[in-house]
Structure 1
Amino acid sequence: MEKSKHGRRNNREDGNTGRGRGKGRPLGSSMNMNPGGKKNENALQPPNASTSAMNVIRKKVDPETAKYFLEISNLFDNKEIDLEDRSTICANALEETKGKELELVTDGVISHTLQILVQGCELEQLCMFLRSCIQSFHVIAMDKFGSHVAEAALKALATHLEDDTSRVIVEEILNRICKVIAADATNVMCSCYGSHVLRTLLCLCKGVPLDSLQDFHTTKRSAVLAERLSGGSSRPGDQNLTSFEHGFPDMFKTFVRQMLQNAKNDISTLLTEKNSSLVLQTVLKLSAGDDDELNHIISILLGYDEDDTAQKKDYSEQKNKIVALLEDTAYSHLLEVIIDVAPEELRSNMLIGTLKGALFAISSHHCGNYVVQALVSSAKTADQMKQIWEELGPNIKELLELGKSGVVASILAACQRLETNRLEVLFST
Structure 2
Amino acid sequence: MQTESNGKRKRPKKKGSRFMRNAKGFAKQGIFGRGTHIDDDQFSYFINILDAMKAGFEDVEDRVNMANNVFEQTVDKEIHLSSNQIVSKAIESLIGFVDDAQLERFFGKFGDNLRPMCSDRFASHVLQKMLEIAFLRGLGQAAAQEQSEADAPGPAKRAKPDAAQVEEQYNLETDFSDKHREQCRNFVLRISKFMLNNLEDFVWDSCATHIMRSAILCLVGIHVPKIAFEKGGAELAKHRKLYTVPEEWHEVMKEFPQRLELWPQFVDFPYQEHSSALLGVICLSLSVVDKSMLKHFGKKILTQSLLKPNEDNGDDDDEKKESKIEIDDDNDDQGNNEKQDDNEKTEKPNSEPAVLLPKVFHYQCAVILLETLLSVAGAKLLTQLYAMLFSGRVAHLSQQQQTNFAVQRLLQHIKEVSDFESVFTELQPQTEQLLKMGYTGVVSALSGACLRLGAKQAQMIAALQSALHVTGDKEKSKLFFNCLVKLKPHELLAGDQSGFVHLHGSLIAQHILQFNKPIFLVNCILELPAEQLSQIFNTPNGSHIVDAFLQSKYIGEKSRERLIRQLDGFYVDLAITRHGSRVLDQCFKAAQEAQKLHIAKELSNKANMLKGSPFGRLIYTKYRLDTYKLSASQWQASLGQQQQKEESVGQTNKRPAKTATELFKDILTQ
Common fold: TM-score over 0.5: yes
1:333 equivalent in alignment to 2:347: no
Distance 2:22 2:449 in 1: 48
Moved more, 381-390 or 69-78: 69-78
Quickly say closer, same or farther: Cα 1:364–1:82, change in 2 above 3 A. Answer: closer
2:110 corresponds in structure 1 to 133
1:302 equivalent in alignment to 2:320: no
Cα deviation for residue 269 of structure 1 reads 4.3
**Equivalent residue letter for 2:245:** G
1:174 corresponds in structure 2 to 188
1:366 corresponds in structure 2 to 401
Alignment gaps of 5+ in structure 2: 1-18, 53-60, 141-175, 311-356, 467-670
Secondary structure at the counterpart of residue 287 of structure 2: coil
2:457 corresponds in structure 1 to 422
Quickly say closer, same or farther: Cα 1:403–1:104, change in 2 above 3 A. Answer: closer
2:425 corresponds in structure 1 to 390
Moved more, 174-183 or 187-196: 187-196
1:123 equivalent in alignment to 2:100: yes
1:413 corresponds in structure 2 to 448
Secondary structure at the counterpart of residue 302 of structure 1: helix
1:107 equivalent in alignment to 2:84: yes
1:284 corresponds in structure 2 to 283
Distance 2:461 2:386 in 1: 25
Select 1:96's aligned residue among 42, 58, 76: 76
Identical counterparts, % of pairs = 16
Secondary structure at the counterpart of residue 288 of structure 1: helix
Cα deviation for residue 371 of structure 1 reads 1.2
Query: Are the aligned partners of 1:138 and 1:181 in contact in 2 as well (CA < 8 Å)?
Result: no
**Which deviations, in whole Å up to 9, do the C-alpha atoms of 1:228-266 show, x marking residues without a partner?**
xxxxxxxx99x96xx523434542552353366258344
Cα deviation for residue 146 of structure 1 reads 0.9
Query: Are the aligned partners of 1:141 and 1:197 in contact in 2 as well (CA < 8 Å)?
Result: yes
Quickly say closer, same or farther: Cα 1:256–1:156, change in 2 above 3 A. Answer: same
Distance 1:413 1:365 in 2: 20
Distance 1:328 1:275 in 2: 13
Q: How does 1:306-317 map to 2 (within 5 A)?
A: none
Quickly say closer, same or farther: Cα 1:380–1:365, change in 2 above 3 A. Answer: same
Q: What is the total number of aligned residue pairs between the two structures? A: 350
1:11 corresponds in structure 2 to none
**Equivalent residue letter for 1:362:** L
2:234 corresponds in structure 1 to 219
1:152 corresponds in structure 2 to 129
Query: Are the aligned partners of 1:319 and 1:355 in contact in 2 as well (CA < 8 Å)?
Result: no
**Which deviations, in whole Å up to 9, do the C-alpha atoms of 1:258-316 show, x marking residues without a partner?**
366258344344312334433433333344344123224323433559xxxxxxxxx9x
Quickly say closer, same or farther: Cα 1:174–1:133, change in 2 above 3 A. Answer: same
Secondary structure at the counterpart of residue 245 of structure 2: coil
Distance 2:112 2:256 in 1: 17
Quickly say closer, same or farther: Cα 1:172–1:24, change in 2 above 3 A. Answer: farther
**Equivalent residue letter for 1:126:** L
Quickly say closer, same or farther: Cα 1:112–1:319, change in 2 above 3 A. Answer: closer
1:7 corresponds in structure 2 to none
Quickly say closer, same or farther: Cα 1:281–1:122, change in 2 above 3 A. Answer: same
Distance 1:323 1:78 in 2: 49
1:201 equivalent in alignment to 2:215: yes
Cα deviation for residue 355 of structure 1 reads 2.5
Cα deviation for residue 92 of structure 1 reads 6.0
2:662 corresponds in structure 1 to none
Cα deviation for residue 205 of structure 1 reads 3.1
Query: Are the aligned partners of 1:205 and 1:249 in contact in 2 as well (CA < 8 Å)?
Result: no
Query: Are the aligned partners of 2:119 and 2:208 in contact in 1 as well (CA < 8 Å)?
Result: yes
Moved more, 170-179 or 353-362: 353-362
Query: Are the aligned partners of 1:131 and 1:173 in contact in 2 as well (CA < 8 Å)?
Result: no
Cα deviation for residue 347 of structure 1 reads 0.7
**Equivalent residue letter for 2:196:** A
Distance 1:172 1:178 in 2: 10
Cα deviation for residue 175 of structure 1 reads 1.7
Distance 1:26 1:194 in 2: 25
Distance 1:324 1:131 in 2: 45
Distance 1:116 1:262 in 2: 33
Query: Are the aligned partners of 2:219 and 2:252 in contact in 1 as well (CA < 8 Å)?
Result: no
Distance 1:84 1:254 in 2: 33
Alignment gaps of 5+ in structure 1: 1-21, 34-40, 43-57, 224-235, 306-314
TM-score normalised according to structure 2 size: 0.43
1:143 corresponds in structure 2 to 120
Distance 2:251 2:275 in 1: 18
TM-score normalised according to structure 1 size: 0.63
Query: Are the aligned partners of 2:213 and 2:278 in contact in 1 as well (CA < 8 Å)?
Result: yes
Cα deviation for residue 388 of structure 1 reads 1.7
Distance 1:344 1:194 in 2: 34
**Which deviations, in whole Å up to 9, do the C-alpha atoms of 1:307-356 show, x marking residues without a partner?**
xxxxxxxx9xx374673221211111110110111011111122234432
1:233 corresponds in structure 2 to none
Moved more, 348-357 or 397-406: 397-406
Query: Are the aligned partners of 2:63 and 2:97 in contact in 1 as well (CA < 8 Å)?
Result: no
Quickly say closer, same or farther: Cα 1:280–1:336, change in 2 above 3 A. Answer: same
Select 1:254's aligned residue among 232, 243, 252: 252
Quickly say closer, same or farther: Cα 1:269–1:253, change in 2 above 3 A. Answer: farther
RMSD of aligned alpha carbons: 4.7
